[in-house]
Amino acid sequence: MLSLSTIREDLKDIRYYYARKEMFDEAFKCTGENAVVEKVQVYNEAMKSASPKLYDLYFSLYIKNYTQESLSDELCFTPEYVQMLNKKLLKFLQSKIKE
């Protein structure tokens, strides 16, 4: 079972990957696929069985690069509620992803 700190670090890498996806796609042509792409695929596969709220949260925070604050504004949730959902997301991923 992955630790929550490992999942947090992985999600930071995933967020960075999607923020710079064009660069990664271009670099792939020269150097080949970076290891983060495999990590992205593992996490995306795990999210297929998530509840709609957790799926939306993952997509918004880690693929679309929203902050928790901006997402709470958009969804009309409190920042605390988004933070609580993010903790649920971490626990969900911990239960789904094998080392």
Tell me what pLDDT residue 55 has: 98
Mean residue pLDDT across the chain: 96
C-alpha–C-alpha distance, residues 86 and 62, integer Å: 11
Q: What is the mean pLDDT of residues 35-61?
A: 97
Longest Cα pair distance anywhere in the chain, in angstroms?
Answer: 44
Domain count, the chain: 1
Rounded Cα distance, 92 and 24, in Å: 28
pLDDT at residue 38, as a whole number:
96
Residues spanned by the domain of 35: 4-96
Q: Say what the pLDDT of residue 98 is.
A: 85
pLDDT in tens, 8-28: 999 999 999 999 999 999 999
* Token pair in block for residue 6: 């490992």
List CB contacts of 19: < 8 A, sequence separation 6 or more.
65
Read off the pLDDT of each residue in 38-56 and give the average, rounded to a whole number.
97
Cα 42 to Cα 93: distance, rounded to the nearest angstrom: 10
Mean pLDDT calculated for residue range 39-46: 98
Q: Is the pLDDT of residue 99 over 80?
A: no
Looking at residue 79, what is its pLDDT? Answer: 97
Nearest-angstrom CA–CA distance, 57 and 51: 10
